[in-house]
Chain A
Amino acid sequence: MSSTFDTVAGIIAETCDIPREKITPESHAINDLGIDSLDFLDVAFAIDKAFGIKMPLEQWTQEVNEGKVSTDEYFVLGNLCANIDKLVSAKAA
């Protein structure tokens, strides 16, 4: 989890020009870090490449829009990293 977070935080810092020290596992990508949807596409591309996965952004967005989960589930970085770890594990299985 910590290495996943370090990778994701590094990607966000570089892609969105956000100081690395401002990025914590508790940070909400949108509400706290101000990442907009276009920048998040860059972040998603870099994460997909780094971990060899395809984050199901459309499914996540649909779940949020339907009120099934809050944005925290996918956009708080600690939760995002846990979801990345699950995708990596599922791919390896």
Chain B
Amino acid sequence: MVDRIVSLDPGARTVRAECLVPAESPVFEGHFPGHPLLPGVLMIETMAQTGGWLVLAVLRFQRMPFLAQVKEAKLRSFVMPGQAMEAEARLLHDGSGYAVVAASIGAEGRKIADAEITYRVVPFPNETLRAEMLATARRVAVPEAFLNG
């Protein structure tokens, strides 16, 4: 869901990302016929992925965050096909084996969605996943300095 990391500041523990909703997608055929809208679960996924990149960067890709909990999720307005969004996340706590972020999505200066997201943070289950995450990180422009411990 994340197209490009715009800024990533592990010191301030924040990340911002650009996310462009596709103009066309099979998702919109059923959600909804004649009135296409980005499903709310994909807004949550967008926030979870954005926060996930932050956690990965803070941990220098030595551990993998898996979505565990979404709290206080608010979906404040509709998102249409082709809409440009900006997602943000702030690390609230880097715990032992878990992390918590406050995440949000905005567009054109308006807040569209927000939530508090908890991840289980565990060693990568295999090297394949870690390699794929690093490749994707480079594609979405996570700064190289954060890719290795």
Residues of A with Cβ closer than 8 Å to B? 38, 41-42, 44-45, 48-49, 54-59, 61
Q: Which of A41, A55, A56 sits near B68, CB closer than 8 Å?
A: A41
CA distance A57 to B10 in the complex (A): 23
A55 engages B98 (CB within 8 Å):
no
Q: Which residue on chain B has the smallest CB distance to residue A41?
A: B98
Given contacts A38-B68, A38-B69, contact A45 B96 (CB under 8 A): no
Max chain B C-beta neighbours (<10 A), residue from A41, A48, A57: A41
Q: Interface on B for A, CB 8 Å cutoff? A: 68-69, 93-98, 100, 118, 120
**Chain A residues positioned under 8 Å from B69 (CB to CB):** 38, 41-42
Residues of B within 8 A of A45 (CB): 93, 95, 98, 100, 118
Please count the residue pairs between chain A and chain B whose beta carbons lie under 8 angstroms apart in the complex.
Answer: 35
The answer to whether B118 and A48 touch across the interface, beta carbons within 8 angstroms, is no
Q: Is the interface of A mostly helix, strand, loop or mixed?
A: helix
Which listed residue (A48, A56, A57, A58) contacts B93, Cβ 8 A?
A48
21 contacts between A and B (CB under 8 A): A38-B68, A41-B68, A41-B95, A41-B120, A42-B69, A42-B118, A44-B95, A44-B98, A45-B98, A45-B100, A45-B118, A48-B93, A48-B95, A54-B94, A55-B95, A55-B96, A56-B96, A57-B96, A57-B98, A58-B96, A59-B96
